Amino acid sequence: MGIGRAALYDPAAAGRASIVTMTGDHEAMQESLAEAHLAAEAGEVPIGAVVVHEGAIIARGQNRTLRDNDPTAHAEMVALRAAAAALDNHRLGGCTLLVTLEPCAMCAGAMIHARIDRLVYAASDPKAGAAGSVLAVINHPRLNHQMQVEQGTLGEEAGELLRSFFRERR
Ligand SMILES: [Zn+2]
């Protein structure tokens, strides 16, 4: 194997290359925020989500409970269903879900069932958040599946979108 060929298979070089092409958290959350804006335009509470797998967005979802007359049509549920269809698997190991608002108990439960690896949420939800704000469904010590959780990416923007939506409704 020549030196040039060896360099092609250098894992460190491959790692650096993949970082460039990976969808970062900030970029992916901007897509979630774009979904939230679309929900608002449709008269829905503005919440959006995307699912990232191997550095690419494989599914997106926006809150559509009013449009679908479906109490389960939260952005996360819509995105999880689309991701499972895209991967042809009900288990979503290796996936990161990025959502503009801290998930509720239903969505947290669905993420656990799906074996999501990582959750990133923008704004916390002091009224219904199940990643620690009200309930601690995610990473509850009695549950088998644990996931990485990160909070804050674009939190200001996501929170302001929700606040302005409710201001206009009043
Ligand atoms: Zn939910």
Mean pLDDT score, 47-69: 98
Average pLDDT of the chain, as a whole number: 90
Tell me: pLDDT of 50 over 60: yes
Q: What is the pLDDT of residue 170?
A: 74
Residue 35 CA to residue 73 CA, distance in Å, equals 14
**Ligand 1 centroid – CA 132 distance (Å):** 14
**In the block, residue with structure tokens 């952005």:** 75
Residues designated as active site = 76
Residue 111 CA to residue 41 CA, distance in Å, equals 27
Q: What is the pLDDT of residue 47?
A: 98
Mean pLDDT score, 23-30: 94
Mean pLDDT score, 45-64: 98
* Whole-angstrom Cα Rg for the chain: 18
**Ligand 1 centroid – CA 105 distance (Å):** 7
- Write the pLDDT tens digit of every residue in 94-118: 999 999 999 999 999 999 999 999 9
**Ligand 1 centroid – CA 104 distance (Å):** 4
Q: What is the pLDDT of residue 169?
A: 82
- H-type helices in the chain, by residue range? 3-8, 11-21, 25-41, 65-68, 75-87, 105-114, 155-169
Encoding tokens for residue 123? 């704004």
